[in-house]
Amino acid sequence: MVAVYAAAKVELSRCTGCKLCILACPDPNVIWFLPDDKKVKVEATRCKGCGLCVTTCSKAALVLEALTERART
């Protein structure tokens, strides 16, 4: 049996780099701001899949993506 988890994923073309998702995330080490690109990235292996960032982003730049256990390692 393959375990399936959810993790947030950034649609970079929609992200404006406003950082609201970073503030919304309960863990400070999951979403990182990329200063050069002015976008954010999600460390999928640390994401709990709670979805708070998804509901915070007004640009619809975050989605929850299903990951298998294999994909997280």
Interacting residues with ligand SF4 (CB under 6 A): 8, 10, 15-21, 24-25, 27, 30-31, 40, 42, 47-53, 56-57, 59, 61-62
Q: From the centroid of its chain, how far is CA 34?
A: 13
CB of 21 to ligand SF4, least distance (A): 3
Looking at the Cβ atoms of 59 and 72, the one nearer to ligand SF4 is: 59
Concatenated DSSP letters of 8-66: EEE-TTT-----HHHHH-SSTTSEEEETTTTEEEE-TTT-----HHHHH-TT--EEEEE
CB of 67 to ligand SF4, least distance (A): 11
| Length of the chain in terms of residues written | 73
Looking at the Cβ atoms of 1 and 72, the one nearer to ligand SF4 is: 72
